[in-house]
Structures are given as structure tokens and as C-alpha cells.
Structure 1
């Protein structure tokens, strides 16, 4: 184990993972070298660290999602656990919102982005197929590794599940994006003492080792991509687009560092171009803008997940750790409205699941069967608890050409806070 400067204790990395990470470092060092002395914008660095087809985190073989079927007391597998891996009740509750949407639209089509292990698709299909025998479930995932795992898991459903390689030109149905926006590359910015906005780029500080000592320079690595890579941040004056975007979100706070998910906003706006009629359910952890850019959140929300350890060292362990940022749901709602989409609801995950009847479904369990009851109820408590996933995670629904009320937002709708 090793300590992260933020205080987190980081796990011991296995040799194979270290080799994979070194390959990722070499790839990133090359990109920095090609970018020149000012380095690589962090959004491009994050894109490569996560999605490069040979060295990116989502292209690699190591298990990413926790194995919730592991025996009690055994070591946790993967890097993190998402709600669908935690319990099938998440997908079952979500299906109770999807069902009336499909009925209203008179279509059996669902499209999931970033389907992870395929667990959510499996649970939704199991819940909906009895009422929608013609159900077609489409998946668009840019990770070849995860796509292969999805195909293995969902093989029993045959051709009811289809994988897309690009965005559809038109779609009518229900769209699901669970923990997708948080994994999109973000632009990292910082307010300077001079009141100017700066973008953070990544540079390579190479260590030149000799027999007697090692010396560190700021420019060597940007000249030699094969040098030992030690990544660091460099402030660069923000371009006009970023400067305008930052100033529209918050006042000048010298030393304040945070992120803007311009790619996520673009993705949401893109829904307005190819969604003909339907509802998109966007589920992720995050806040409205007023909380996201709160003065006390002065170091932003970037975090990493490595073997179930959360830490803040985003430039460490490229290729073998997940990198995420919380979602600014105000920005996503604004992007939807600008694309002629309607914001249909916004609330906490706990309130959404309760509105969908999660507790009523659980009432069918036999409390006298204590072993099964405990096994089923424990993970659900994590979904609903304000101290865990219940409040941190939010659900934002946007739609087009839809005239219906969504059960998931029947109470506790927070659109007025966006």
C-alpha cells in the first residue's frame, strides 16, 4: 500500500497492471510531445487515458466492475461498483418508469449508452419482456472489452439485443445513460490571481537518471517522448469559448479549480438532432450549478477509482484507473433546452426509485426468510441512503415530442433548483 498526498491509502498494483500503465504513460508522453511545449489539454489527456483503443482504461482487460456475487469476506474485485451490479432491484425499479414511456410512445425500443457489464440491460429485459414481447434493446458502447462482456452476458436474449457502432440517424423510444456523463473527458480550469481564467494542460516532467543522482527538468520530457514520464499540470490562458463558459457559471475566485464537461453538454444537445420522439433518463452523481461551483468546492470534483480506492491523483496510474468528474446538471439541462428538448424531471436517485415503487416491490419479500431478506435489502439501502448513493446520484429526464407525466418525478421534483 502507498499513501496519496490527499490522505487516501492506495493499493499495491500487480505487475501486469503496472506494465499496462507504463504503456499508457508512453502513449500519453508521445501525445504531449506532439502537442508541443504547452502540453496537452487535460480533456485530451483524459480522453486518451480512458479511451485509447490500445492503452486506455476502457480498452484494457482488467476487471472494472465489482463482483457482488463474491463470497462474504473475500476481496472485492474490480475498481468500483455501480448500482446495477449492486442489486437487480435498481433495474427492476427503472423498468417501472420505462414501461409507461414505451406504452405512451407505442414502441418497444430502448437504447442504452455505456452499458457496462450488461447487468442493467439484463435486469430491464427480464422485467419488461413479459409485457413487451417485441422488445428491442440497443446498446452503444465505445469499449470493445465491455462490449464483449455484454454480449456474453446477454446472449440468452438472442437478437432482442443489438449493438450499434454509431449514433442512430433517428430514434423513437426510451434512452438510458447510467454513469455515462461522469466518464466523459472534462476541461480543467483555474482562476488566476489576476482575475483571468486559465486552462490546465498536462506536461511531462522527465527524470533523467544517472549513476550518481537524478535531476528533473520541466522541458526535457516535452522534447523526448521516450523519457521517463512524470506528468504535471501547466496553466495556459483560456481561449474565448472557455473563458466565456466559466464566467457564465461562477464569479472570479482566485485559486479556484474546477471542470466543465463541454463534451457532455454537446452529447446532450446532440439528442435533439437524432431523437425523433422519446425520453432520455440520465442517471449520475452530481449537483446543480450553484452547488457544483460552490466556493468551498475549490478543488473541483475530479476523482479516480482504483481497486475500490478513491483518490484525487488523476495523473497517476493512467490506463488502469477510472477517472471521473461529477455532473453539472444545470449545464446539461441548459444544453437540452438549447437543443429544443424539454426537461421533464430532475430529482435524487432515492426519490426517483421510491416514486417508481421500489418499496412496494420489496414488500413481496418474506421477512421471515432472514438470509435472503438481508441479502436483498442491504444493497437497496445503499441505493436509497442519503449518506451513500441516494442523494449524491440524481436523475435528469429530457425528452422530445412527449406529452406525459413521468412517475419517477411524481414527488420531489427539483427542476426549480437547476
Structure 2
């Protein structure tokens, strides 16, 4: 992949350390590990996994850019939805995978200005590196709210508040399956000294059951099933006593996710703002994600007793919740400040950019159904 930027000597050393660790794990397991095990190590292995090492991941200097990094108007708009729901709960916001902390800072500033501050803002994140960045961001942006912010290393036994996850579901390790006469489970092995795919019979009952529901359109059809996503939603549902779950991510309903034209699946790597098809390229230096099957997410939540409040595109949700009002509140006579946010909002809501691919799904328990973000354009009927 000569067209991709060369890593630094230090970064390459980190990746090689991780490759040796993965190869050792494969050897200890008898020569093969399921793909989710590989993906978990590539992303979260202590000291050298993508989210556990010190590389700059977010923004123009990193590997990808998220909505909060583009404009604070995204966070301010989410804050409008949160402000509507927070009084119906014990007043805690739980954010999973808080990135650089920018979304938390933007939301807290907006909620502070609106007189709707949470009693507590709890961040649950697996990356020690990102946690340090979050602490620095929040200390700089909202130092007067330090007593309301905390970091948790485990999910609380009970949740009473608003759970938020922006681009969290896509980063959870996924199963890869491939159909060659029958469904087979993809995994990682070592061939000629390099990491490589090897397919084996499916030996996991849950995965086999979900794979059996799919009708492969042609030989070689490859796709993903995220058992981790489903387990995560069920766990949240088990612990949510009252409140809301709100997730923003890229993905499709099942009918589109497993469409014949998507025969190579959705797994993709992100490296220095380039997309990479090979998941074994520079482990530890490249993000790995797969799109979200929102039908599976909706079923996991409702089967666990949650109310499905809404499902819509990011564009509909943001416009419903007031992103245009947030943009209009800026001074258009100050083009140096106004224009970048105007361009960012266009990217967030344009069907050709993030507006259609990104979706928003909301669940509730013992909370009102009339969320402003789902006031129009709801697509639950398409799930």
C-alpha cells in the first residue's frame, strides 16, 4: 500500500510489538483465533492497541474525524434533546467512548447556558490515552464543572439517566462470516510469518443461529454479525431503571445491511484519513470498524424490555432537535467564524455526506415518548 503515509519509526515499533503479541496469542490458541478476538487485540491491547496507545486518532492530524470534532453545534444540538429528557431522570448523563472529550465539553457548556446541567456527567471509556485527553479538554473548557464530571472503569449496576454513544457501536469487535456452500467463521492465523485470514466451521451457537437467518445471494458472500453490539444493548437494558439510550452511528437496517450488492461486508480500516480494506494492515496504528445493523440493535433493545422511541437519519434528528437554530445564533457577519460551522453543518445533514449514512436510534424506560429529535422523519417501520 505504497500510496498510504509512512508511519514513524516509533509507531512502526508499536505495531510490530502488537503483531508479535497477536501471533503469540494465535500460537497459544492452536494456530487460529476468531476475528473478534483479533479485532479486540488490534484496538484495545494494553500499551499497543489502537485505542490503548498514544497515537493521535481524531481530527485532521489523526485517522478520522467525528461530528463533534467538526463543529460544537453537533454537541449543542444533542444537548437540546438531553435537556428535554434529563428532568425525567435522576439527572445523570453517561457517555460511552467519549473520544477527545469535545462532545462532553460542548454539551456541558450548552446545558450550563440553558440552566439544565446534569447532576453528574459520567464517562465510561476503555482508552487510558483518550481519558487523559478528555480530562485535559474538560479542565480547559469547563473547569467550574469539575465536581460534576467523573470517569468510571466499569458500568454501574443501575442506570438512571441519559446514556449517549456517538460512534461507539461501530468500534465493537464483530464476527466475520463467509459463505462457501455453508456459512464459515473467519478468523486470524499466521501464514508465512504474516497475519492472514483462515475460515473454520462456526462453533458458536449464537453466531450459528443468526447466520442461519441470512440467505447468501452468491458464493463468497462475506458479512459481519456483531454479537458484542447485542450483548452491550442487553446489558444496558438490564441496568437501566429509568431513562434513555441514544446512539449515533453509521449503518443500515437489516434489509440494506445484507443486500446482495454489499457482498464484501462493511468492515473497514481508517488510517490517516484513508480507508484500508486489509484488517491486518499495521495493527495498532489503524482503526477498525464495521457498520451497525440497526434492525438487530432495535430487536435487542425491545426484546430486553425497552421502548423503541425512534430511529431516523442523522439529518432528520439534528434538524428536528434544532441545529439550524444553533447555526442561526452565530453571527453571519463574522465569516471567519460562521462559514466553517455552516460548512460543517452541511456535511452533517447532507444526504451525500453524513446526513443519510449516519442514523440515530433512541430507547427509553419510564420516560416520555415525544422526543424532539424524532418529531419527523421517523423510520422505525423500515427496521
- TM-score bracket for the superposition, by shorter chain length: over 0.9
Q: Secondary structure at the match of 1:355?
A: helix
Structure 1 residues 164-175: aligned runs within 5 Å: 164-175=152-163
Residues 293-346 of structure 1 deviation map (CA, whole Å, 9 limit, x = unaligned): 000100000111111111111111001110000000000111111111111100
CA contact (8 A) 1:191 1:252 kept: no
User: Paired residue for 1:152?
Assistant: 136
Cα displacement (A) at 1:253? 3.5
Query: Offset at 1:123?
Result: 0.3
Aligned to 2:63: 79
Aligned counterpart, 1:120: 103
Could you tell me whether the CA contact under 8 Å between 1:27 and 1:55 is conserved in 2?
no
- Map of 1:92-241 to 2, 5 A cutoff? 92-105=76-89, 107-130=90-113, 131-133=115-117, 135-155=119-139, 156=143, 157-192=145-180, 194=181, 196-206=182-192, 229-239=193-203, 240-241=205-206
Q: What is the match of residue 276 of structure 1?
A: 241
Distance 2:119 2:76 in 1: 16
RMSD: 1.3
Give the match for residue 6 of structure 1. Answer: none
Helix, strand or coil for the counterpart of 1:343? Answer: strand
Does residue 1:399 correspond to 2:382, yes or no? no
Partners of 1:134 and 1:378 in 2: how far apart? 30
TM-score, normalising length from structure 2? Answer: 0.96
| Correspondence for 1:213 | none
User: How many angstroms apart in 1 are the aligned matches of 2:22 and 2:11?
Assistant: 16
List runs of 5+ in structure 1 lacking aligned partners.
4-8, 67-75, 207-228
Q: Which residue number in structure 2 is paired with residue 384 of structure 1?
A: 349
Deviation at 1:365, TM superposition (A): 2.4
Deviations 1:27-74 (A, max 9, x none): 10011101113x1100000001101112211110111111xxxxxxxx
Q: Are 1:90 and 2:49 counterparts? A: no
Distance 1:191 1:401 in 2: 43
Is the Cα–Cα contact under 8 Å of residues 41 and 49 in structure 2 kept in the other structure? yes
Q: CA deviation at 1:408?
A: 0.3
Instruction: Tell me, in whole angstroms, the C-alpha distance in 1 between the residues paired with 2:76 and 2:57.
Output: 23
Are 1:350 and 1:391, in contact at CA under 8 Å, matched by a contact in 2?
yes
SS of match in other structure, 1:91: helix
Q: Secondary structure at the match of 1:58?
A: coil
Task: Tell me the residue number matched to 1:73.
Answer: none
For 1:238-273, what per-residue CA distance to the aligned partner results, in whole angstroms no more than 9, with x for missing partners? 124322211224446321001101001100011111
What is the number of equivalent residue pairs in this alignment? 377
The 3 A distance-change label for structure 1 pair 243 and 41 is same
Give the TM-score of the pair, scaled to structure 1: 0.88
Larger Rg belongs to: 1
The alignment status of 1:298 with 2:291, answered yes or no, reads no
In structure 1, how many angstroms separate the alpha carbons of the residues matched to 2:324 and 2:128? 36
**Aligned residues of 2:177 and 2:185 also touching (Cα < 8 A):** yes
Partner of 2:13: 19
Correspondence 1:45 to 2:10: no
Deviation at 1:134, TM superposition (A): 5.4
- How far apart, in 1, do the equivalents of 2:250 and 2:117 lie? 33
* Correspondence list, 1:242-257, <5 A: 242-251=207-216, 253-257=218-222
Q: Is the 8 A contact 1:198 1:237 kept in 2?
A: yes
| 1:63 match | 56
**8 Å contact 2:108–2:117 — kept in the other structure?**
no
SS at match of 1:403: coil
Query: Which stretch shifts more, 309-318 or 124-133?
Result: 124-133
